[in-house]
Amino acid sequence: MAGSVIVTGANGSVALHAAELLLKSYADHTAVFAVRDASDSDVNTKKLRDIIAQFPSAKASIHELDLASLASVNVFADSFAAGVSSGAYPPLSAIICNAYYWNLVAGPELTADGYDKTFQVNHVSHAALVLRLLGSFGPEGGRVLLISSDSHWPGKNNMEKYPPSLGPDMDLLVKPAELDSADDVQGRGYQRYATSKLALTTWGYALNRYLQKQEKLSKITAISMNPGNFPDSRALTRNTPVSLHELQRDVLVPQLPNLRLQMPTLRTSAEGGHDVVELAVSPAYKGEQGFYTLLEKDVSSPESQGEATQDKLWAKTLEWAEVPEDKTALHVAFE
């Protein structure tokens, strides 16, 4: 049964292509596109609105959601859940946790919630959103697609200078130490990003275990996905050094056909958008869970697979996300 599909960061490079495919190939679904700025003053939101306009019969809407604010997450989740209850939206079929943040040209930034912005946007707020909306899935269940990255696995991405790790003191994930003048800003910024993807991937395993323990939610599954790396993505020009802009312009984009012969996960944003939608919505992947690279079942990093680490991160995430038991349908998480 077709239902609602929430996409966060819906005006991103990959997400714009995903939106077009969702509206074209899965027109029976209701698309709920969440963006930080829903006004047309945001050129990328305007692009999203133009895509929607190409499908006049589509059931699609754009909503504001600032993942750097738990208050914004709560407002969005409460509004959508109320819409499902009233019949304004069909029950959820999928949540695509696509939005991201990184900053490779500055030290750690704190949100209004007091958390590192990279970690909150990429992990904490997505976890809060998912937990608050599990009760809005229908009886047939659905999928939670957590967009991961090869960066979560130490040594897998060429941009890595310092390996990602959840570490023994997980509170440092949300409140990292400030950098000093001798620190490598770009390297540490990428490490924060990679660690946030490690956290989201690790958390997905715990989420699946808890969902299976609660019969009414057992048909909901979580998939962590490495959708590939995208030389044409705007991400490479956002909060990044000029050298990376030049690398994208002069090497990565023009040489992509040759580069992908050596690195098959290098691809276009359009290809990534296609795979994201298929893995989240296609009947071919019903009931799937775990980790995927592109559309192939894969294994994630050793650290992400440790059950003790998963449990520790799960407990800390509940604390950071500030989701009380009466605001989630996943009651077994509090037993």
For residues 18 and 26, give the distance between their C-alpha atoms in angstroms, rounded to a whole number.
Answer: 11
Query: What's residue 133's pLDDT?
Result: 99
DSSP H stretches of helix in the chain: 13-25, 43-53, 70-86, 117-119, 125-133, 171-174, 185-213, 242-247, 256-262, 269-281, 302-305, 307-321
For residues 187 and 264, give the distance between their C-alpha atoms in angstroms, rounded to a whole number.
Answer: 24
Q: Which residues in the chain come in under a pLDDT of 70? A: 1
Query: What's residue 335's pLDDT?
Result: 81
Torsion (CA) 134, 144, 74, 196 in degrees, nearest 10: 140
Query: What's residue 90's pLDDT?
Result: 98
DSSP structure class, residue 90: P
Q: Between 307-321 and 185-213, two packed helices, what is the crossing angle to 10 degrees?
A: 100
How far, in Å, are 204, 279, 297 from residue 290 at the CA level?
8, 12, 8
Q: Residue 287: which residues within 8 A CB-CB, separation 6 or more?
A: 219, 221
What tens digit of pLDDT does each residue of 275-317 get? Answer: 999 999 999 999 999 999 999 999 999 999 999 999 999 999 9
Class of domain 4-229+269-334: alpha beta
Where are the chain's structural domains?
4-229+269-334
How far, in Å, are 19, 116, 230, 249, 265 from residue 256 at the CA level?
24, 33, 9, 11, 11
Is the pTM higher than 0.95? yes
Tokens representing 304?
């992400």
Interior/surface letters 39-62, b for 16+ CB within 10 angstroms, e for the rest: eeeeebbeebbebbeebeebbbbb
Q: Between 43-53 and 13-25, two packed helices, what is the crossing angle to 10 degrees?
A: 10
